[in-house]
Structure formats: structure tokens, C-alpha cells
Amino acid sequence: MVLLAGSALLAAGLLSAGGGALLLWHSGQQEQQLTNRWTSAVDAASPQTTGTGPVTPNVGGTQTEVAATHRSVISAPREGVPGAVFAIDVPKLHYFAAVQQGVSLSVLFVGPGHYPSTPMPGSEGNVGVAAHNTYWIAFGQLKTGDTVRLETLHNKYTYRVTGTRIVGPNDRTILAPSPGYHLTLTTCWPLWAGALATQRLAISAVQIST
């Protein structure tokens, strides 16, 4: 996608102009501060469920079973904290970060962003999250079966990676709506290439529990 390629070019331009390393460090600090605010907000929020008792996670469930679980949980998207709408957690990579709304250059320079044209976690469809490869350079290690979690203020949604593929920068089919509960992560490819990246890595996952 042009936006992601532009983000890489922006980062490269800052580095070549001098003082770029300091700006990149500052953006990393901004991401950490946002993530810290998110964590504090989640700690302060109390879980909200419907029904008469706690919901048992539907690990490994079918799409029909996952949908049934959603009906027993208040899964509608909730307002996040200022600057963040939810968080992403990748246990295999020891990665956790708040996710902002949008995929503009300014958003992706600080950290991951949510494609506004895709649903929020907890809604049926294909949730899309993007980040510059500077932040997701380790995401090439993700394989089929690995776990990714999305966290809203009151719910957590667990996804299992189903596959990865390399696509062109303008390929929008990877974000196409689909039945069920899905997640697509995108970043510039090759991960190490920075401004030289000409493609995108797309990581697909399916929700297995909430």
C-alpha cells in the first residue's frame, strides 16, 4: 500500500537528513508512553459480561462456536484511551503495543495503526492492523499456529495465524471483508529493507476465542 511505502520513505529521509536517529528514538518513546497509558486504562477498567457467570474461552472453536461465544459477551467496540483504540499482543515475540486509529504517515511513524475501513475487534469481519517494518521487524518469525491477541478495554480476542504471503503495495484484497472473525497484519517487505521495501508482508489469522 502506498501509505506504508511512504512511511518507510519518510523514516529513511529523516535518517539521511541527520538527527533522524533521535527522531526515531523519540517516536519509540511516544509509542511506549501510549502503551503505558493503555495498560493503566485496562487495569482501571472492570470486565463487563452478560449472562449469569463468567464466559469460558472457546479455544479451538469453529466459526459457529465463536459466534455463539460473542453473543454471550458484550463484544461491541468500546472507546479506548486518547490516541489508542486497542492493543496488540504477540506472545511468541514478547511484543505488546497500543494501536492507534488510522494508517497515516504520522500514525505509523509512532507505531501500529488500525485500518479504519475494517471492523474493530469484537465485530464480525476482517480486522486490519498495519505497522512500519521498523517496529515489526521480528514479525517475519510468525508461523501458522502462532497466537496473536487483540485487547480492548474490556475484552481480549485470541487469533491463530493461518498463513502469510507477500503481496504488492497496492493489493487491497487482503483486507476484503469475509464471513467470520479474522485478522490481517500488514507491514513493508522485506522487513530489513526500510525505504527499499517494495512489497508487503500480510499475516492472516482467525479468531479462536474471546
Long-range Cβ contact pairs of 13-16 (< 8 A, separation 24 or more): 13/195
> Please, what is the average pLDDT of the chain?
79
Among 12-26, 49-63, 139-153, the range scoring the smallest mean pLDDT is 49-63
Q: For the chain, how many structural domains are there in total?
A: 1
What tens digit of pLDDT does each residue of 67-86 get? 444 433 333 344 567 889 99
Among 24-33, 44-53, 131-140, 149-158, the range scoring the smallest mean pLDDT is 44-53
Site of grid cell 501509505: 3
What tens digit of pLDDT does each residue of 83-99 get? 899 999 999 999 999 99
Beta bridge partners of 35: none
Residue 115's CATH number: 2.40.260.10
Contacts of 16 (CB under 8 A, 6+ apart): none
- Preceding amide of 190 cis, omega within 30: yes
- Give 125: exposed, middle or buried? Use CB within 10 Å, 0-12, 13-18, 19+: middle
- In angstroms, the Cα distances linking 98 to 66, 142, 151 are 25, 19, 9
59 is written with which cell numbers? 479455544
Residues 37, 148, 190, 115, CA torsion sign: negative
Range of the domain at 18: 2-209
Tell whether the model's pLDDT for residue 22 goes beyond 50.
Answer: yes
Q: Give the three-state DSSP class for 177.
A: coil
14 is written with which cell numbers? 529523516
CB 49 within 8 A of CB 184: no
CB 48 within 8 A of CB 74: yes
1 is written with which cell numbers? 500500500
Contacts of 53 (CB under 8 A, 6+ apart): none
Q: Give the three-state DSSP class for 77.
A: coil
Tell whether the model's pLDDT for residue 65 goes beyond 50.
Answer: no
Confidence of residue 24 (pLDDT cuts 50, 70, 90): low
